[in-house]
Amino acid sequence: MLCAGSHVLQQNQPDNANSYAAEGTAAHQVLTWAGQQNKNAADFKGTFVSLDDHGRVLPPESTTPHTWQFLVDDDMAEHVQVCLDYVREIAGDNPVLYDVKVNYASYLGVPEEDGWGTADVIILLPDEIVVVDFKYGMGVEVQAGRTGDEGRAEPNPQMACYGLGALTAYRDFGDFDHARLVISQPRITKKPSEYDLSIADLERWGHEAARAAVEKCQRAEASFESVHDRKHWDDAYLTPGEKQCRFCKAKATCPALRNEVALAVFGTSPASPEEFVDATAVEGVTQESGAIDGAAWLSACLQQVDLIEDWCKGIRTEVERRLLAGESVPDFKLVPGKKGNRQFASEQEAETLLKSFRLKLEEMYDFKLISPTTAEKRAKAGVIGPRQWAKLQEIIVQREGKPHVAHVSDPRPALTVSAVADEFTDVSSTSQAQDGCAWIR
């Protein structure tokens, strides 16, 4: 919806499957198992979830070699349980479906095979359809939607599509007049992001905003091969920005993003490879908003930092991918990285051998006091009693988070900070100020 041309540029690009995405898929699998079997996430602790090189979960009996394997430990079970508890509290005795493939093609005006998605959870209340998306990432907080200009409903596009798909499949199961879109991201916050909108607003979004975006993508694809003026196509269909570029597989080779970075850094666009590395180009930067250290100029620069840093990561990833694939990139090569920390090939074998040395326990093991988080888990498990846990809580402290910069659109309230000079009294005119020693005393 934000960059119509990205659909074209990402075609034939390799999937960016990585360990973080694979771990999220494993946590989703635990959610599905627990929900479908009416169990708690903790019931699956000690279970391994294996995935292939495409990030797909392998059946337990599969003989296919796995690329990733994750143990369901205390942390994963705890975070999955947050989502489970929310779902069960909302659902009550009403129907709940987990890991449901839904189709929303009719709203977007595309063939049925192009309009599929998988909803993590669908809850069918008497007058409301609830769609829950479980996100295991902790890098970027995702909102379920917002109210835009003139009161327009602006749902999270992914969630809205799932909502339309759920409505298509289960419209006859209730007299639905509202939809609730929910994103549960417990590794960032235990409180889910919720967005309520009427069924009429949801369907209007699908028929109007979403379909218009799809049609623009289709025009971009249809004209890509035949266009003679590539820059005209770039200007018409490529729209760089932090949100749309973050997970785009074409970010490293996108001409519009490259030019956007060149414009932000050098004040000129487009730039050839030679111009891009020419630091003297910085001299041409215009500062229409004031001096180089002015607040307006800093604000304009900072709004580009995330986009530029994300582009840099994309460049590094793409070069590494090509070199690992045996392709050449001028002036760069692969070299061995720093060796990992030494470790025992088998801790059990090492433990047996160390015991044969007749070492004392303190000579064999490193003991460390458990953390408050682990203590709380012990209390929930009944290892630490309620009265004992209450006493322990009295000596638990938690430091405030260090202030950091965020855009004004961030939902968290702004901190009120007074200027340092306001904390002092002007004593320059006092008699004490004339006598340094007296003033110090």
Average pLDDT score over residue span 76-104? 96
Give the C-alpha separation, 392 to 378, whole Å.
12
Whole-number pLDDT of residue 183: 97
Give the C-alpha separation, 337 to 323, whole Å.
14
Whole-number pLDDT of residue 298: 65
The alpha helices in 152-294, defined as continuous H runs, are 157-170, 199-205, 211-224, 230-237, 242-246, 255-266, 273-276
275 pLDDT above the threshold of 50: no
pLDDT of 114-141, one tens digit each? 999 999 999 999 999 999 999 998 878 8
- pTM, full prediction: 0.67
φ, ψ for residue 265, nearest 5 deg: -85, -45
Where in the chain are the domains? 6-223, 240-324
Please answer whether residues 24 and 83 qualify as being in contact, where contact means their C-beta atoms are separated by less than 8 angstroms: no
Percent of the chain at pLDDT exceeding 90: 44
Strand order in the sheet with 193-198: 96-103, 116-124, 128-134, 178-184, 193-198
pLDDT band for position 428 (cuts 50, 70, 90)? low
420 pLDDT above the threshold of 70: no
Distances, alpha carbon 285 to alpha carbons 2, 175, 264, 297, 304, in Å: 28, 60, 9, 11, 15
pLDDT band for position 340 (cuts 50, 70, 90)? confident
Give the C-alpha separation, 79 to 186, whole Å.
6
Beta strands at 48-51 and 68-71: parallel, antiparallel or unpaired: antiparallel
Contacts of 364 (CB under 8 A, 6+ apart): 351, 354, 355
Assess whether the previous peptide bond of 273 is cis (omega < 30° from 0): no
Give the C-alpha separation, 379 to 376, whole Å.
5
Give the C-alpha separation, 262 to 275, whole Å.
9
Whole-number pLDDT of residue 294: 60
Average pLDDT score over residue span 155-182? 95
Give the C-alpha separation, 396 to 375, whole Å.
11
The count of other CB atoms within 10 Å of the CB of residue 88 is 14
Please answer whether residues 86 and 31 qualify as being in contact, where contact means their C-beta atoms are separated by less than 8 angstroms: no
